[in-house]
């Protein structure tokens, strides 16, 4: 098979820097290559229509409407090339626009996001099938697009990155040093949700500190700025060395439809280097059960969890089991192989979800 993975990300600036493209395009393409197929990841703006005839299947990450996009989908239809929309965020239901991080964090108005979501939904209806990154997200797809075949393909780590991370493990984490790696400012409200337990923890632990990688507003942590150190965006291949310094990483999420649909990426990346994780629970995370993964919900539970992971001894005791768990259960190969096998059999989605032969596609 010749597979095409389309992304809207700018691949010339940081080819591997966009997290969604990394997990939903490159990592799945690697699995296809391991199965003996050809796979290419191409930015939409650089895709030539005359090249589409070379491909047997198209997987399109977060497809957004536009003149070029419509030309691509129409050309693919003319050539009888099945197109699968791949969605890893809840960006297609205008009824939930008010819960969007862009609206909640004040980065965009509600009418603007409602219009964007409606446009996304209209464009998704042109695809033969939809794949998503979490089961919760699949539920929204089934509700919004009941006639379109759909399946969940969870985010998984590449073998290449796992091998690279293994080489950079630091067995001597700094006691009381935790990390929060949100990446973008869309997590301002998430971080604010644990302000009280983090403040109490820092006051109770004079030598403790918290590293934040990304643009997060810490203005409400007055008086603790010297204990909360902010760092700029970090290249993906620097993450293992950075995370290996921590006793644990944090993954707080406010309760919303968007966060309930979030992927387990923060857990699997941290666990890959043997670092415990304190995470707000959602379905994609609570599907995992292993030592070193903590799910506090109340302020008191967060305080207890922060105190527990502050001791380097905890990481030492769970590090090996975390790394082994991820390698056994959370690789791209583990999650994407059923999808590649379905495409080999000329089906749109894996059989364990349900079978939709390409000839009967919508």
CA angle 155, 158, 162 (to 5 degrees): 120
Decide if 86 contacts 131 (C-beta within 8 A).
yes
pLDDT band at residue 356 under the 50/70/90 scheme: low
- The residue ranking higher by pLDDT, 316 or 251, is 251
**pLDDT over threshold 50, residue 241:** yes
- Retrieve residue 169's tokens: 């493990």
State whether 51 and 147 are in the same domain.
Answer: yes
State whether 239 and 173 are in the same domain.
Answer: yes
Report pTM. 0.92
**pLDDT over threshold 50, residue 195:** yes
State whether 280 and 187 are in the same domain.
Answer: yes
Query: Looking at residue 32, which CATH number applies to its domain?
Result: 3.40.50.2000
pLDDT band at residue 183 under the 50/70/90 scheme: low
pLDDT band at residue 105 under the 50/70/90 scheme: confident
pLDDT tens digits, one per residue of 51-100: 999 999 999 999 999 999 999 999 999 999 999 999 999 999 999 998 88
Burial of 195 (0-12, 13-18, 19+ CB in 10 A): middle
pLDDT band at residue 222 under the 50/70/90 scheme: low
pLDDT of residue 352: 64
Closest by CA position to 219, among listed 255, 184, 195: 195
Rg (CA), the chain: 21
- Retrieve residue 81's tokens: 């090339």
- The residue ranking higher by pLDDT, 349 or 336, is 336
**pLDDT over threshold 70, residue 324:** yes
Domain that holds residue 250: 159-329
pLDDT of residue 189: 83
State whether 167 and 312 are in the same domain.
Answer: yes
State whether 28 and 142 are in the same domain.
Answer: yes
Q: What is the dihedral of CA 158, 182, 113, 83, to 10 degrees?
A: 0
**pLDDT over threshold 80, residue 217:** no
State whether 91 and 238 are in the same domain.
Answer: no
**pLDDT over threshold 50, residue 361:** no
Give 230's strand partners.
212
Dihedral sign of CA atoms 189, 193, 194, 196 in order: positive
**pLDDT over threshold 60, residue 360:** no
State whether 139 and 267 are in the same domain.
Answer: no
Tell me the C-alpha distance between 355 and 347, whole Å: 7
State whether 310 and 347 are in the same domain.
Answer: no
**pLDDT over threshold 60, residue 267:** yes
Instruction: Give me the mean pLDDT over the 147-159 stretch.
Output: 96
Most confident segment among 70-79, 171-180, 191-200, 303-312? 70-79
- Retrieve residue 168's tokens: 């950079």
pLDDT of residue 26: 96
Instruction: Give me the mean pLDDT over the 210-214 stretch.
Output: 87
Number of domains in the chain: 2
**pLDDT over threshold 80, residue 168:** no
State whether 36 and 64 are in the same domain.
Answer: yes
State whether 48 and 124 are in the same domain.
Answer: yes
pLDDT of residue 159: 92
pLDDT tens digits, one per residue of 254-264: 989 999 999 99
Residues whose CB is less than 8 angstroms from the CB of residue 49 and which lie 6 or more positions away in sequence, other chains included:
71, 72, 75
pLDDT of residue 224: 65
pLDDT of residue 131: 97
> What's the whole-number average pLDDT of the chain?
89
pLDDT of residue 358: 55
State whether 113 and 237 are in the same domain.
Answer: no
State whether 169 and 182 are in the same domain.
Answer: yes
């Amino acid at each position: 098979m010749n597979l095409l993975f389309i992304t809207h990300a700018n691949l010339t600036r940081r080819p591997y820097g966009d997290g969604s493209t990394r997990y939903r395009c490159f990592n799945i393409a690697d699995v296809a290559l391991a199965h003996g197929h050809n796979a290419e990841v191409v930015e939409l703006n650089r895709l030539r229509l005359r090249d589409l005839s070379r491909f047997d299947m198209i997987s399109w990450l977060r497809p957004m409407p536009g003149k070029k996009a419509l030309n691509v989908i129409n050309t693919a239809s003319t050539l009888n090339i099945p197109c699968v929309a791949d969605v890893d965020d809840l960006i297609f239901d205008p009824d939930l626009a008010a819960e969007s991080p862009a609206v909640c964090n004040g980065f965009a108005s509600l009418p603007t996001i409602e219009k964007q979501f409606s446009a996304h939904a209209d464009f998704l209806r042109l695809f033969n099938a939809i794949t998503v990154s979490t089961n919760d997200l699949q539920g929204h797809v089934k509700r919004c697009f009941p006639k379109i075949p759909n399946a969940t393909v969870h985010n998984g780590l590449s073998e290449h990155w796992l091998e690279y991370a293994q080489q950079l493990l630091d067995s001597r984490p700094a006691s009381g040093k935790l990390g929060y790696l949100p990446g973008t400012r869309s997590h301002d409200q998430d971080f604010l949700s644990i302000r009280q337990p983090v403040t109490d923890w820092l006051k109770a632990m004079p030598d403790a500190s918290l590293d934040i990688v990304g643009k997060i507003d810490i203005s409400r942590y007055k008086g603790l700025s010297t204990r909360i150190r902010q760092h700029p965006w970090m290249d993906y291949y620097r993450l293992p060395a950075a995370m290996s310094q921590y006793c644990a990483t944090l993954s707080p999420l406010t309760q919303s439809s968007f966060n309930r649909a979030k992927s387990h990426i923060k857990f699997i990346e941290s666990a890959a280097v043997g670092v415990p994780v304190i995470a707000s629970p959602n379905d994609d995370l609570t599907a995992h059960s292993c030592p070193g993964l903590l799910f506090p919900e109340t302020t008191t539970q967060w305080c207890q969890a922060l105190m527990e992971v502050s001791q380097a001894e905890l990481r030492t005791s769970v590090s090996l089991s975390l790394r082994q768990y991820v390698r056994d259960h959370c690789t791209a190969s583990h999650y994407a192989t059923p999808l590649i096998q379905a495409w080999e059999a000329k089906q749109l989605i894996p059989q364990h979800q349900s079978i939709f032969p390409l000839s009967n596609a919508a």
